[in-house]
Amino acid sequence: MQKQVFNPFLPLWEYIPDGEPHLFGGRVYLYGSHDREGGWTFCMDDYTVWSAPEDDLSDWRCEGVIYRAEQDPMYPEMKYMYAPDVVQGNDGRYYLYYCMSGDYGVGGYCCPISVAVSDTPAGSYTYLGHVQNPDGTPLMRYVCFDPAVMNDNGVIRLYYGTQYGYEEEQPGDPQVIETEMEMFGRTREEILSYPDSINGPVMAVLEDDMLTVKEQPRHIIPYKVKGTSFEEHPFFEASSMRKVGEKYYFVYSSWQNHELCYAVSDHPDRDFTFGGTIVSNGDIGVNGRTKKDRLNMTGTTHGSILSVRGQWYVFYHRLTHKSDYSRQACAEKIEIAADGSIRQAEITSCGLNDGPLRAEGSYPAVICCNLTNGNMPHGCNSIYREEFPNVTHGPAGTSGEEAGAADGKKDQDVERFIGEIEEGSLIGYKYFRFEGVKEIGITARIETPENHVVYSGPVRVDERSAEPVGGVAGTNATDADPGAAADYAIGTDSTIGTSSAIGADSADGDFGAETEVVMDVMTEIDGPVIGRIRIRQGADPMHWETFYTETEIPDGVYAVFFRYHGDKKLQMKDILFR
């Protein structure tokens, strides 16, 4: 590895969630959905693929847009392309499988599985058709959602599905049937025709034409989970299949909706046993951590595993912008033990790096792997308006050479930073290798009405969202304007002056007077304070300034945690070592 790489491992302006990594011709290709920075619904942009040589996972290259939503015949009725997967067919060509959807996922359970084809893994891809029955009609058996494909020694296997617990929890309830009719776009007769359930993950076998069903879909794990190994972590969505030796590993997102789980079988279509959680985007489960103590805003997750030169990785995504709609690709090293088990990975900032990051120079503050005020929400098809610490962006300020330098390769006039940092907030980075470090610093500014990031666009908080911040659920779907344009602006929020965290100073307009708050530095959550950064700011609310604290950290590998204390909110752009 010739340079360092951190999470998120793509450029900070890029948002590729639902990642399916594949190794083709000596390169790792990341196929996924394409969110928009600060977007207001899932998957607003066309498919863009990134790749890296297998011997240097720090060197990611954008292959460009490989397929556009407008190429699908369902466009513009269905405008967005959801989580895809790619497989190499027996003819040597590459096949892209995906489903279309509308705003906020409406209609996403009602569409067939579309297929596009290319001569190369990097595209561009051309629309081929829908997965179809032998008579040429579109395959609509079960719920066509989140397709995944594998070439199993010449057998093309297609996995897909979603699962809700209505039928098991309320057997025979007519309201359940009504709910499923609306959700899945099916008739009562069709839903009742399934001997098991329309819900659940299924597998079908395709002909070599990559379109026609050769073996009809069937459940690969039981739909009814009570009394099975899946009871605590039932399948929800995000099917992905990998073969490890002679074993089949089924990777999926569970009902917990923050974790990627896995199940193992000797067969590709049956007898799977729950294995465990591979990763949680809130580190829930690591060292016994509970949902209440999640270390990030949690929400939708989707990804898979890949072996690169003998090292296994799990690819997943994190949430930003207080929503489910701006998700960024991350990865962690994992190990498949001799008994086939996978220990849950801790989310880190170093991810694909050969080891810990070097504690030298500066890093963007937004590569934090933990960000919490102790009461972070769990999102679900939502954008929150309540204030809590979050990764965000806005127009560049007036900080001289630093202005617009958050990425350096795109959007030169955009800064990316952590906003709404409030009293008690914890910001964590794991891990750094320290050698002779004497000082740790941050680049920060006090949050004011002038520099506060304001989202202006459709706002939707789904009724399934758990534990809303401050007890305010925001607006519902009927309040959203699907035609409105979302934007993130600086200094246009007329309500921020009423926030108790900014309170009197912002309301009274006396930011011309200097103020001081502090950031404690630790190497463990709630560990001893090894340094205290005192933050002062004068009259210019747009100016970023760097502040340091002396510290004595023995050489070695450590996490770095910042704990904020102050009666005013803070924004943070960089962390520094010297």
Give residue-wise pLDDT tens across range 326-353: 999 999 999 999 999 999 999 999 999 9
Q: Predicted confidence band at 479 (pLDDT cuts at 50, 70, 90)? A: very low
> What whole-number percentage of the chain has pLDDT above 90?
81
CA angle 58, 59, 63 (to 5 degrees): 135
Give the pLDDT of residue 397.
62
Show the DSSP H helices in 474-574 as ranges. Answer: 503-508
CA-based R_g, the chain, Å: 24
**Catalytic residue at 18?**
yes
| pLDDT of the residue at 109 | 97
Reply yes or no on whether the pLDDT at 204 is more than 90. Answer: yes
Q: What angle do CA 170, 277, 216 make, to 5 degrees?
A: 60
pLDDT tens-digit profile of 208-247?
999 999 999 999 998 999 999 999 999 999 999 999 999 9
Burial class (CB in 10 A: 0-12, 13-18, 19+), 287: exposed
The one catalytic residue among 14, 18, 146, 574 = 18
Type of residue at 370: N
- To which residue do tokens 């409030």 refer? 422
**Distance between CA atoms of residues 38 and 458, nearest Å:** 11
> pLDDT grade, residue 361 (50/70/90)?
very high
Please compute the mean of the pLDDT values over residues 72-85 and round it to a whole number: 98
Can you give the pLDDT at residue 412? Answer: 63
The SS3 of residue 294 is: coil
Does 283 participate in catalysis according to the annotation? no
pLDDT for the residue 461: 67
Q: Tokens representing 382?
A: 């939502």
CB 323 within 8 A of CB 347: no
Identified catalytic residue from 20, 146, 180, 237:
237
* pLDDT above 90: residue 460: no
Checking if the pLDDT of 407 tops 60, the result is no
Between 515 and 121, the more confident residue is 121
**456 — pLDDT class (breaks 50, 70, 90):** confident
Q: Name the band, by pLDDT with cuts 50, 70 and 90, for residue 90.
A: very high
> Which of 373, 418, 422, 444 is closest to 568 using CA atoms?
422
CA distances from 358 to 249, 363, 417, 549 (A): 34, 10, 21, 18
Give the integer Cα–Cα distance in Å for 168 and 224: 6
Average pLDDT over residues 193-221: 97
pLDDT tens-digit series, residues 408-429: 345 668 999 999 999 999 999 9
Among 128-142, 237-251, 470-484, the range scoring the smallest mean pLDDT is 470-484
pLDDT of residue 304: 98
